[in-house]
Amino acid sequence: MNAKHPTALDSTQLNAEPYWMPFTGNRAFKANPATRTLVSAKGAYYQTAEGKTLFDCLSGLWCSALGHGDPRIAQTLKEQAETLDYSTAFQLANPQTLRLAERIAHLAPQGLDHVFFCNSGSESVDTALKMAIGYHRLRGEATRTRLIGRERGYHGVGMGGISVGGMVANRKMFAPLMLNGVDHLPHTWNLSQMAFSRGQPKWGAHLADELERLVALHDASTIAAVIVEPMAGSTGVLVPPEGYLQRLRELCTKHGILLIFDEVICGFGRVGEWFGAQRFGVTPDMITFAKCITNGVVPMGGVIVRDDIYNTFMAGPAHAVEFMHGYTYSGHPLAAAVGNVVLDIIEQDGLLDRARTLEPVLEDAIHSLKGDAGILDIRNIGLAAAIDLAPIEGSPGLRAYKLFEAGIEEGFLFRVTGDTVAMGPPFIATEGEIGAMVDGLRRCVKRVMG
């Protein structure tokens, strides 16, 4: 098949059987693979193997914020592959990675001036957790080993990430692999107090005080770090209540606990600023990132670290490795080159402004669904929104799965988890496309409620 001009395929031409798909109902997919095999993408649209055009309601998987097929990214990839296609990051560097670290440090909140690269959100989380443990140990507080996550948190699928994560389905099968000494804060969603909130809910700042309870239980001297997503995306766009993150910051500072913001979804514009930290006015000690830094074109993740955390590691002989951690593809030159051009595009095309301009458009559109049958809650912040659907009795997740299928028929690629539908359109989407997406969602909800 010609990659540039794919021709329509039917399911008999696609052998999906050998492929074990991640986070997928494999058997349902394989019953008819052509409906959900994507062969090309341009701008805010995908094309399926059957030749159907789908609006990309979640920017890929929260990563393709600039839309697909930008020629500036393709050109950069080609040039970088011809110039320096690979270089190890162990004892060596390349100019693209050096430049990207400098730029990310500059964009991050003041004081977070060092950047460590890896290849995914999951790796960024496990890296940050190791940094937290190592930092306390090097400072002579080796008893600080406990990690605190949050219910309904998603921090990827590494052993660290699932341990601090709070999505039960991702944890229960792997219970013996959980890290010891992990505890969780309560999640911040409460239907009776915040249903249909626009932006940040007014109720819920006090939920951060649960950290005091955990400190009273375990003692601060055993706690290394708290990790939360400023806006929890994968669990269905849980927006932080007003004052909640501020309170968490105060308590972490008071007890010498590091605060890690997992910004794998929030980072690079999703909430209308470079980072959620800036949007919500709270500076953590570390920020994890991935996804939008390369627009999803090449895998990349990383951790941005406060100066004194980095400096704490810079001890011992200068030639000796200070942090025994890294990946073959850390700071990959292709990923770094794409990261640099992505930052250029966001800046040149004014895409943070664009995300901010579209935020009220998405907010008004999505909240127009309030009162429609079967919609239990609607949430939004930045260019992210979600609705909760009334589940089908006895079959959790089936209603939203049917909506996902209906969406494809209607020309929309919705992302569903449980009975929640999440949307995070590309920043290049037009106001008309956002309106059409919500109209399409309304039709799909009607279909699955009928």
Q: Smallest gap, in angstroms, from Cβ of residue 155 to ligand PLP?
A: 5
Which of 10, 87, 83 lies closest to 48, judged by CA?
10
Nearer to ligand PLP, 45 or 154 (CB): 154
| Least distance between ligand PLP and beta carbon 8 (Å) | 30
Among 139, 145, 164, 141, residue whose Cα is nearest residue 154: 164
Nearest to ligand PLP of 235, 312 (CB atom): 235
* Continuous segment of H or E residues that includes residue 313: helix 307-313
Is the Cα dihedral 239, 151, 122, 407 positive or negative?
negative
Going by C-alpha positions, the residue among 447, 278, 422 that lies closest to residue 362 is 422
Q: Which is nearer to ligand PLP, 60 or 374 (CB)?
A: 60
CB of 75 to ligand PLP, least distance (A): 25
Considering beta carbons, is residue 100 or 369 the nearer one to ligand PLP? 100
Give the relative orientation of helices 351-367 and 333-348 as an angle to the nearest 10 degrees: 80
Choose between 120 and 312: whose C-beta lies nearer to ligand PLP: 120
Smallest distance from the beta carbon of 361 to ligand PLP, in angstroms? Answer: 24
Query: What SS3 class is residue 105?
Result: helix
Residues that bind ligand PLP (CB under 6 A): 120-122, 125, 154-156, 229, 233-234, 262, 264-265, 290
> Least distance (Å) from ligand PLP to the CB of residue 264?
3
Residue 387 near residue 375 (C-beta atoms within 8 A)? yes
Whole-number Å distance between alpha carbons of 380 and 106:
28
In the complex, least distance from residue 288 CB atom to ligand PLP, rounded to whole angstroms: 7
Which residue type is seen at 433? E
Phi, psi of 420 (to 5 degrees): -110, 140
Residue number, 97 or 288, with CB nearest to ligand PLP: 288
Give the residue closest to ligand PLP by C-beta. Answer: 121
Helices 95-107 and 333-348 pack at an angle, to 10 degrees, of 40
CB nearer to ligand PLP: give 233 or 374. Answer: 233
Tokens of 364: 């008004």
SS3 240: coil
Query: Which of 315, 289, 163 lies closest to 224, judged by CA?
Result: 163
On whether the CB atoms of residues 385 and 441 are closer than 8 A, the answer is no
Q: Which of 100, 101, 52, 49 is nearest to 76 (CA)?
A: 100
Between CA 113 and CA 19 the distance in angstroms is: 41
Closest to ligand PLP by CB, 73 or 125 = 125
- Token pair listed for 132: 């937290």
Cβ nearer to ligand PLP, comparing 290 with 413: 290
Residue type, 105: A
171 exposure class (CB count in 10 Å sphere: 0-12, 13-18, 19+): middle
Name which of 158 and 440 has its Cβ closer to ligand PLP.
Answer: 158
Do residues 124 and 288 touch, judged by C-beta distance below 8 A?
Answer: yes
